Amino acid sequence: MKTKINIKTASIAIMILFASWAFTSYGQTPKKTEVKVMNKNMYIKEVYDYEKNPDEYIFKSKRPAVIDFYADWCGPCRRIAPIMDELSIKYKGKVDFYKVNVDFEKELASVHGVQSIPVVGFFPVNEGPQMVLGALPKDQYIKYIEEILIPKK
């Protein structure tokens, strides 16, 4: 008798867990983004090899880039993440978007003097990067992209 109750209770618990999982994932669409998570090796390969050229900034990519220096625990960082996702779609093919978790990539943060977050770096093709501290409204990021990375001629 006791075994039947335990099996029945376990079966009900499994059904409840499955139902709750099904309802929480129902209707959720995958997040659309072109933002790539960047580590040191990727940065050296695609942006700037500061180990090979420590005294001369040489941008390696063919397209300008936006790099969001963030941490998972940072509230303002979480607020700008959807903005970066949206802008990565808007400027797809014109500007590359990356994010660097400063908790895991301390050296990359140090290379750019990042001591507070969020910091968003704008990396034009033919000039040094410009870093902006703090969470800004979307229109301000658009202004920086349009003026620094893809200016009208």
Residues with active-site annotation: 74, 77
Cα distance between residue 87 and residue 22, in whole Å: 31
Q: Are strands 36-37 and 130-133 parallel, antiparallel or unpaired?
A: unpaired
The residues near 144 (Cβ < 8 Å, ≥ 6 apart) are: 120, 122, 130, 132
Cα distance between residue 66 and residue 140, in whole Å: 13
The CB density around residue 129, as the number of other CB atoms within 10 Å, is: 18
The CB density around residue 123, as the number of other CB atoms within 10 Å, is: 25
